[in-house]
Amino acid sequence: MRLWRAWLFVGLAAGASVLAQTSDRDDEAARSFWQGRAHFLQDGSLHDDAIENAWPALQRLHRDALRATVVYLHGCDGINTLSVKAADLLAAAGYLVLLPDSFARRDKPRSCDPLAHRGGLHREVLGWRHAEADLALRQAATLPAVDPRRIFLMGLSEGAIATATYVGQGLTGRVIEGWTCHAGWPEYQGLRAPAGEAVLSLLGQNDPWFTAPALRGDCGAFMGSASPRRRSLVFRPPHPAASQHDLLWNVDARRALFDFLDAALATQP
């Protein structure tokens, strides 16, 4: 099986040291942040600009101008149409969306082949994506308009893996789109959200990226006992999203996303 085949034959002992060997220098993570994108509403207009260009305007926003903040982690092929549409969807609803750009790094090894639905080409990328998420979350919290109690981490595909396994800044919740939380590499497996943190996972049961046995399942297996703050939503046939990887084009997925965000925010002081 060629899909994500690099993951299937990895011994557990090999995984422990991988992230420690990544080249997550601060300047490279900083490039991913400042050259990333910011999507937000200002004076009723939707803005989309490089974060470094938008930063002065973001510093002038008042806290009541934002519903909350989302740090969005793109998939393995970068900030594309899917990322932009997701960010615009959230920004139109009053969220500040910050998208670090992993491809702003000076040296960005290829981590997937999207046309073949093949990933796992650069195992160390997970540590890089964690560093990008961490810096973006810390920078977001410095903005006067950002309430640190109302910050979400959200990711698609490779970005969803990083979202599921991120450990660091406190979050209101996390949204995992297009990932199963199952993997042959141990550092890629599971859910690292602390107890009580809100989590939404969105997955098509027949997602073509996850046909290999080691990748089958869904993130609900790692959510613990039933909780209204945690939901693994798997679209099954004959639902039109059952065979899809990106899901927010579907009205049911969008409704689930905003219901989740609303519920998580309702529990904040």
Phi-psi map region of 244: left, alpha, beta (phi>0 left; psi -120 to 50 alpha) = beta
Lowest mean pLDDT among 71-80, 157-166, 169-178, 217-226: 217-226
pLDDT at residue 8, as a whole number = 32
Q: How far apart are CA 211 and CA 232, in angstroms?
A: 19
pLDDT digits (tens, 9 = 90+) for 47-80: 999 999 999 999 999 999 999 999 999 999 999 9
What's the pLDDT band for 265 if we cut at 50, 70, 90?
very high
Distance between CA atoms of residues 64 and 69, nearest Å: 12
Q: Which residue has the tokens 């599971």?
A: 190
C-alpha 133/C-alpha 169 separation (Å) is: 9
- Within its chain, how far is the Cα of 46 from the centroid? 22
The count of domains in the chain is 1
Domain of 211 in residue numbering reads as 5-266
- 95-99 vs 151-156, strand pairing mode: unpaired
Matching residue, tokens 């990226």: 209
pLDDT at 170: 94
Do the Cβ atoms of 207 and 243 come closer than 8 Å?
A: yes
Residue 24 has pLDDT above 60, yes or no: no
For 91, the token pair is 């920004």
What is the residue-wise DSSP string for 66-106?
-SEEEEEE-BTTBS-HHHHHHHHHHHHTTEEEEE--GGGSS
Could you tell me how many residues make up the chain? 269
**Amino acid 168: pLDDT:** 93
- Residue 123 above 90 pLDDT? yes
pLDDT attached to residue 269: 66
Q: CATH number of the domain that 209 lies in?
A: 3.40.50.1820
Of 103-117, 127-141, 233-247, give the lowest mean pLDDT range. 103-117
The packing angle between helices 158-165 and 125-140, to 10°, is 70
